[in-house]
Structures are given as C-alpha cells and as structure tokens.
Amino acid sequence: MSWFGRWRRARILDKHAIPPDAFRAVVERLPILHGLTADELARLREAASLFIHDKAFSAAGGADVDDITQHLIALQACLLTLNLSEDSYRGWSEIILYPDEFLRQREEMDEAGVVHHSRDILAGESWHGGPLVLSIADVAASGLADGFNVVLHEFAHKLDMLNGDANGFPPLHRGMDAASWARDFSAAYEDLCARVDAGEDTAIDPYATTDPAEFFAVLTEVFFETPHVLLTESPAIYRQLQQFYRQHPLARLESHAHA
C-alpha cells in the first residue's frame, strides 16, 4: 500500500472505527465468529470499519437501516475476506436493504424473440458490477451456525464475479490448482444433483443444484456455518474452500467449543 493509502486508512479508522463495545456485542451475537483469535478480531474490526465507510447502505421498501444491521453485514462480509486482499469488494459500492424478502420481476427475451416474465421472492441478490441487495430479516437470521447465511451467500457471489460472471470459479490464489478445483467442484455438483433428482433429503440445501455459481455460494455458507456438515458431505470441497478462504472454520469452532 502507498503512503497515501496507509495514511487514508489510518485516518478513516481513527475517525470511524466501530466502537469496541458495539463490535463485541455483534461478535457475541454471531456464533460463526466465535473462536477467532484476538488478532483476527482486531483485523476484522478494522476491515469492517473500512467496509462501512467505503460502501453506501441504502434503504428500500421502508427499511430501517440501523448501525446493528450495518455491523452484522460488515462483520460477516469481512469474515469471508479476513485472509484475502483488502480490496476484494472493489468495483461496486451500494448495498440496498429491504425490510424482508423482496419481489424481483424480470423480463427476458429468449433466442426465438419470446419475452418471458418471471417473479421471484428473494432474500438477497448480487449484481455484476452493481449493488448487492439483502433482506434485513434474513440478515438477522444469518450467522447463527445453523447453515443459513444470506450475507455470506451474496458476498461469495461478489468474490466469484471478480473474474467475470458468477460461475463457481473465482480467481484462485497462486499455488492453487485450477484443474483440481474444477474436478472437485464438478464431481460434488454432479453428485448433489443426482441425489436431489433421486428425491434424497440432502444435508446441503438443494438450491445449490441451480447452477455452479449457486453451488459455490451455498457451499460457502455451509463451510462457515456448519463446517462439520461440509467436511462429512464433501471433504474435497472443504479442502478447496479452506485453501481459497485461507481459513479452517471447523478447527476454530471446535477449539471454541472445548475452551
């Protein structure tokens, strides 16, 4: 980082850091953060403070965007990137918040020139190069170590989109093998699709079978929320995500449980 970058960063943290008490209260509320070391928590507080300063939070549908909502989003977004580049969320700036699930209406023209209308009820949405949209009710239900996390899900799409459209293939780090990533993800995806098609009640949300981008986002939720489930279901994916996020959530949560 340039001297100007360091100066700007220090100045923002000096003026706008999340107050220690407020930070501790949000960490307490989010079991997926339990077990982080003091050093990791200090880095998370800095990253989350910079994140809130850099992003614009806007309300839609009469949403009440309070500090706690911003903290819940920032801490979980920055958990994903705790050991990644600090500018991982570059190239876009707006987070739009609805009070609850929201309706998206779309019109798409197919190759035959027919326009299709669709209506979806969504808890969150990520636009390539554009805003990230979240339902506050679903934000409040995320981070409880029960497997569901709309915040991690939508921000995982943002990481995936760092090298183009979301396709389940984010930019890998030096030393990671693209061929083994593709092989492991394809095999796990095909396996889950086959089990869902066969009517099996799977431990992984069947929404993951929508396409490879959703598979990556849903498995990111499982990796951080219920890592034991992912390690049991798909050890190869656990190891790939461990290399990608440079974190080992299972060891963290277990060390905390035994502490």
CA distance to 81, 191, 234, per residue, from 186 (Å): 24, 8, 12
- Select 32 or 217, whichever has its Cβ closest to Zn ion: 217
Contact partners, residue 140, CB within 8 Å, separation at least 6? 69, 72
Which part of the chain contacts Zn ion (CB under 5 A), choosing from 49-57, 90-98, 135-143, 212-220? 212-220
Contact flags string 213-252 toward Zn ion, x per CB under 5 A: -x--x-----------------------------------
Q: How far is the CB of 180 from Zn ion (least distance, A)?
A: 24
Helix, strand or coil, per DSSP, at residue 55? coil
Phi, psi at 104, each rounded to 5° = -115, 125
- Select 214 or 225, whichever has its Cβ closest to Zn ion: 214
Closest CB to Zn ion: residue number: 217
- Select 205 or 214, whichever has its Cβ closest to Zn ion: 214
Q: How far is the CB of 186 from Zn ion (least distance, A)?
A: 19
Report which of 35, 33, 31, 97 is spatially closest to residue 67, judged by C-alpha positions: 97
Total of residues contacting Zn ion (CB under 5 A): 2
Q: How far apart are CA 195 and CA 207, in angstroms?
A: 13
- Select 45 or 157, whichever has its Cβ closest to Zn ion: 157
Q: Is 120 left (phi over 0), alpha (psi -120 to 50) or beta?
A: beta
Identify residues 84-123 at the interface with Zn ion (CB under 5 A).
Answer: none
Which part of the chain contacts Zn ion (CB under 5 A), choosing from 50-58, 104-112, 132-140, 207-215? 207-215
- End-to-end, the C-alpha distance of the chain in Å comes to 37
- Select 70 or 149, whichever has its Cβ closest to Zn ion: 149
Query: Rg of the chain's alpha carbons, rounded to an integer?
Result: 19
Please give the residue ranges that form the binding site for Zn ion (CB under 5 A): 214, 217
